[in-house]
């Protein structure tokens, strides 16, 4: 099995509310056709989820009744994005079927409490491609919380032990400093827990409700312990996702357990 995460920063313009990058998603759909074994796709919420969720502090759980209507609106928005992704994948030749995270998991304190892999397995057995996404979900201890795409990726990896996990980001991989701020930032080709411990911790981006880059990398390390290969590639560069899927040499960071 191959699991691919299409980052919200790749398939949307995260600086502009509800802005879908259609041409980029179409290209990525074509590159996904290189997968010759079971494929699962997860995508981030990008500007369809983070901006409004941050504005109304949905990542902090239920604090007041005014948040409830915004839970509904953010769920509506991320489903709009999911439908756009599903349509683009189907038009590109991928037999995609949507699975919201709350349809396969329960949550408590921003973590997966239980996960039912049969929801995904039955879709895969039919020769279809399950597609899940970041979402606002019911949470037993908080009322509701944010389930990131990475959280679903980890749950999937633990259950299915995939041969390959690919994260499509808007950068070439992990750097020793922020490449968007420092032109001399150095790409780290192989990342393990020792390497991560030496990196400077960063705060989440202004409209990101799923944690800092450091926290995301910690989750990737957990995923790497449950798959044969885990890597980060730049989804904005044509051909890189396809090369990763085909096992070819590609500019990336390989995450090691």
Instruction: Please give the sequence-ordered ranges of beta strands (E in DSSP) within 102-225, or none if there are none.
Output: 105-108, 111-115, 129-133, 135-139, 143-147, 164-169, 174-175, 187-188, 190-191
Q: Which domain CATH number covers 12?
A: 3.40.1160.10
Q: Sign of the C-alpha dihedral, residues 70, 75, 77, 78?
A: positive
Structure tokens at 186: 């150095």
Question: Mean pLDDT throughout 8-21?
Answer: 92
Does 225 or 37 have the greater pLDDT score?
225
Residue 163: is its pLDDT beyond 70? yes
Domain limits for position 15: 2-255
Give pLDDT, residue 179. 83
> Which pLDDT score is estimated for 199?
82
Q: Report the pLDDT value the prediction gives residue 203, as an integer from 0 to 100.
A: 59
Q: How far apart are CA 55 and CA 77, in angstroms?
A: 14
Contact present, 7 and 44 (Cβ < 8 Å): yes
Q: Are 165 and 153 in contact (CB under 8 A)?
A: yes
pLDDT in tens, 97-114: 999 999 999 999 999 999
Calpha distance 86→96 (Å, rounded)? 6
CA atoms of 170 and 8, how far apart (whole Å): 9
Cα–Cα nearest to 44, from 64, 72, 24: 24
Asked whether residue 191 carries a pLDDT value surpassing 90, the answer given is yes
Structure confidence at residue 37 as a pLDDT band (50, 70, 90): confident
| pLDDT classification of 61: cutoffs 50, 70, 90 | very high
Whether 32 shows a pLDDT value over 90: the answer reads yes
pLDDT at 240: 98
- pLDDT tens track for 200-255: 766 555 556 655 678 889 999 999 999 999 999 999 999 999 999 999 999 999 99
Structure confidence at residue 180 (pLDDT): 79
**What pLDDT score does 176 carry?**
86
Phi, psi for residue 173 in degrees, rounded to 5? 160, -145
Number of other CB atoms surrounding residue 125 within 10 Å: 10
Q: How many domains does the chain have?
A: 1
pLDDT of residue 156: 98
Q: Name the least confident of 68-82, 168-182, 194-208.
A: 194-208
Q: How many CB atoms lie within 10 A of CB 206?
A: 10
pLDDT at 206: 53
State the pTM of this model. 0.92
Tell me which of 199 and 21 has the higher pLDDT: 21
Mean pLDDT over the full length of the chain: 93
Q: H-type helices in 92-148, by residue range?
A: 118-125
């Amino acid at each position: 099995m191959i699991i691919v995460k299409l980052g919200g920063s790749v398939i949307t313009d995260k600086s502009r509310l509800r802005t879908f990058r259609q041409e980029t998603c179409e290209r990525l759909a074509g590159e996904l056709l290189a997968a010759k074994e079971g494929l699962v796709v997860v995508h981030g919420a990008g500007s369809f989820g983070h901006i409004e969720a941050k504005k109304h502090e949905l990542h902090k759980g239920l604090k007041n009744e005014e948040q409830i209507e915004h839970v509904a609106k953010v769920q509506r928005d991320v489903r709009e994005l999911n439908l756009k992704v599903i349509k683009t994948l189907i038009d590109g030749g991928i037999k995609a079927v949507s699975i919201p995270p709350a349809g396969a998991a329960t949550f408590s304190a921003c973590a997966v409490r239980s996960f039912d892999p049969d929801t995904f397995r039955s879709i895969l057995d039919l020769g279809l491609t399950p597609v899940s996404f970041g979402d606002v979900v019911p949470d037993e201890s908080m009322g509701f919380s944010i389930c990131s795409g990475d959280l679903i990726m980890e749950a999937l990896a633990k259950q299915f032990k995939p041969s390959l996990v690919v994260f499509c980001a808007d950068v070439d991989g992990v750097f020793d400093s922020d490449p968007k701020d420092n032109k001399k930032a150095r790409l780290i080709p192989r990342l393990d827990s020792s390497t991560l411990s030496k990196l400077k911790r960063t705060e989440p981006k202004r409209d990101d409700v799923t944690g800092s880059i450091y926290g995301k990398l910690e989750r990737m390390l957990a995923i790497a312990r449950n798959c044969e290969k885990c890597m980060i590639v730049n989804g904005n560069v044509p051909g890189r996702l396809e090369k990763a899927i085909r096992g070819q040499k590609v500019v990336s960071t390989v995450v090691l357990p």
